[in-house]
Amino acid sequence: MGKRHYPIYKIVAADSRFPRDGRFIEAVGTYNPNIDPMQVTLKETRVKYWLNVGAQPTDTVKNLLQSEGLILKLYLEKKGASPEEIESELQKFLGQRESKIAIAREKKKRRKLAKKTKAETPETKAPEVAEAKAPETTEAKAPETTEAKAPETTEAKAPETTEAKAPEVTEEKAPETETKETPESPETKAE
């Protein structure tokens, strides 16, 4: 059933000796996972009949029957509960199921919203982090450098800093390099 990329499944009663997709005895329902919430339609009387006869549901079908409350209903009938008790228990179960579905939807919405905000925040926080780290690295490396390496470090640091901080870094280092260059010029003249 269904189409390509849009599956709809039949819930069937089949002999265990037949292939999985082969011959089946009776179609007892359908399952459509493509819509939210998923749609399960069952012929309740036929499902009860086959389960009472001894049919063993697959794990997936068992989960679907549990989510629809059919397994609970069969259990209460075997236990000998009155129809009113069965109906009240079934209504309570279905109410809990609806609340669980609503909670799951809210979680999904919150995760999606958090993911969206998280995707937006790194773009805004990344420059702030770079700005915060840039002055620390330049201050720490400036005293450690020797006189000959000072011009090289300023050229290497300028491309790494952001545009807003670039003038500040060059202004701070400009006096240092000027004072360092003046002693170098007499040395070159002496040679």
At 170 the pLDDT is 47
CA distance 10 to 23: 13
Rounded mean pLDDT of the chain? Answer: 76
At 3 the pLDDT is 87
2-80: which CATH topology? S16 Ribosomal Protein; Chain: A; (3.30.1320)
User: 181 falls in which pLDDT band (50, 70, 90)?
Assistant: low
At 107 the pLDDT is 93
Here the tokens at position 106 are: 């809210």
Q: What average pLDDT does this structure show over 51-56?
A: 91
Domain locations in the chain as residue ranges: 2-80, 105-190
C-alpha gyration radius of the chain: 37
Do 117 and 105 form a contact (C-beta atoms < 8 A)?
no
Here the tokens at position 157 are: 């640091």
Residue 69 has pLDDT above 50, yes or no: yes
Taking phi over 0 as left and psi of -120 to 50 as alpha, with beta for the rest, 2 belongs to: left
pLDDT in tens, 114-153: 988 888 875 555 556 556 565 555 555 555 545 555 555 4
